[in-house]
Amino acid sequence: MNQKTGPLFYTAIAAFIGIVIFPFLWVLLASLKAPLYLYGEYAFSVKVPEYTLHNYISVFTNHPFGRYLLNSFTVGVLTMLLSISIAAFASYAVARLHFFGKTFFLGILLAVSMLPQIATLSPLFLFMQSTGLRNTYAGLVIPYTTYALPIAIWYMTTFFKQIPVELEEAAKVDGASLLGIFGRVLLPLVSPGLFTTAIIVFVDAWHEFLFALTINTKQSMMTVPVGIAMFQGEFTFPWGEISAATVTVTVPVVLLVLLFQRRIIAGLTSGAVKQ
């Protein structure tokens, strides 16, 4: 649809981008203001007498924020590795092999992706409690992987389907086994898809809140979203520190997203819009 783009159009785009970005810019500004100027008459001014990195330093020294980052990162990476390795096999089977019950399997995946996590929370909590998995990485990686699998399998199935069947047949003629074809021919070809799925799974794990809030309650095992939510002081909100923490967790993910945006958009929309 090649319509003419006039000044009105660019105004609309600018307004839209402005609204989307404004909260981040405001928080970035707040994180750089000296704490004194966050309140009172300077609360709404962009220009204040003193800008400082004080908030960034105090977020790491007054709170175990570095630990939260490490926890989130570790849980995210472990979830990513585990779900990608399970999903790679399953999505190949779905994309290429014929087996009885495939529709049923896909139906279960769809159902799990719609399942409200809270409906499984109490038994999972009691299980983690009784097995001593609370306040461990495994306590989060296990449920995260389970809920990441449906998405991961769908995304990767689309990527597997995009590879021409002829390649596989050629390998078969050359005498490669099923596993050989999978490992040596298909996996390298599908690696961009694998990578995209990995990023999406990682971002989802980085965001998760409910399980993290209930299963890992020890300060030293909390993840970033829970840690930030717990920043509220007894009487006041330390907005300077909260802003610094927000910027710190958002920037790496935003960079990751900007770097791989084409692939991520392709991955995210492949489920909803089939080519």
Residue ranges in 96-115 that form contacts with other proteins under rule CB under 8 A: 97-100, 102, 105-110, 112, 114-115
**Closer CB to other proteins, residue 86 or residue 189?**
86
Shortest Å, Cβ 33 to other proteins: 11
193-232 residues near other proteins, rule: CB under 8 A: 203, 206-207, 209-210, 213-214, 224-226, 228-229, 231
Shortest Å, Cβ 17 to other proteins: 5
Among 137, 161, 163, 195, binds other proteins (CB under 8 A): 161
Cα angle at 76 between 92 and 62, to 5 degrees?
175
Query: By CB under 8 A, is residue 36 in contact with other proteins?
Result: no
174-193 residues near other proteins, rule: CB under 8 A: 178
Among 32, 78, 153, 194, binds other proteins (CB under 8 A): 153
Query: By CB under 8 A, is residue 256 in contact with other proteins?
Result: yes
* # residues contacting other proteins (CB under 8 A): 103
Query: By CB under 8 A, is residue 242 in contact with other proteins?
Result: yes
4-33 residues near other proteins, rule: CB under 8 A: 5, 9-10, 12-13, 16-17, 19-21, 23-24, 26-27, 30
DSSP 33: B
Query: By CB under 8 A, is residue 71 in contact with other proteins?
Result: no
DSSP 184: I
What single string gives the DSSP state of each residue in 213-263? HHH--SGGG--HHHHHHTT--SSS--HHHHHHHHHHHHHHHHHHHHHTHHH
Backbone angles phi, psi at 51, to 5 degrees: -110, 145
Torsion sign over Cα 105, 108, 110, 112: negative
Shortest Å, Cβ 53 to other proteins: 19
For residues 144 and 127, what is the distance between their CA atoms, to the nearest angstrom? 15
**Closer CB to other proteins, residue 2 or residue 166?**
2
For residues 269 and 98, what is the distance between their CA atoms, to the nearest angstrom? 26
Of 115, 112, 85, nearest to 194 (Cα)? 85
**Closer CB to other proteins, residue 95 or residue 221?**
95
**Closer CB to other proteins, residue 5 or residue 234?**
5
- Helix 65-96 vs helix 187-207: crossing angle, to nearest 10: 140
Q: Are 240 and 56 in contact (CB under 8 A)?
A: no
